[in-house]
């Protein structure tokens, strides 16, 4: 599986992530993920290391209630969401 920082989120997706951040008091980063064969994934990973933005934040440690809310939002949005510390 290959994941990259989600770009071009529509207004509804951005509003939902912002709402979640405010509700939970956490900073959330959205990732877009997709399955691909291993050779293609490795080639894309090498390209992304040179040109794509890299997340340089430590993960936050959400509690169980926050994790449930994050998982629900992930399913709703079709994205992987990660809580980070800034």
Q: What's the token pair of residue 68?
A: 């449930």
Query: How confident is the model over 5-45, as pLDDT tens digits?
Result: 898 899 999 999 999 999 999 999 999 988 878 888 888 87
pLDDT attached to residue 52: 67
How many helices (H) and strands (E) the chain has is answered by: 3, 4
pTM: 0.79
pLDDT attached to residue 81: 97
Which residues are bridge partners to 31 per DSSP?
5, 80
Which position has the higher pLDDT, 53 or 10? 10
Query: Is 43 within 8 Å of 18 (Cβ atoms)?
Result: no
Separation between Cα atoms, residue 39 and residue 17, nearest integer Å: 32
Query: How confident is the model over 60-85, as pLDDT tens digits?
Result: 999 999 999 999 999 999 999 999 99
């Amino acid at each position: 599986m290959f994941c990259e920082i989600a770009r071009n989120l529509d207004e509804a997706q951005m509003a939902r992530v912002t709402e979640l951040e405010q509700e939970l008091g956490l900073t959330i980063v959205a990732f877009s993920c997709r399955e691909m064969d291993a050779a293609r994934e490795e080639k894309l990973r090498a390209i992304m290391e040179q040109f794509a933005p890299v997340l340089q934040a430590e993960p936050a440690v959400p509690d169980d209630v926050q994790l449930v809310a994050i998982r629900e939002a992930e399913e709703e949005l079709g994205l992987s969401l990660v809580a980070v510390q800034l």
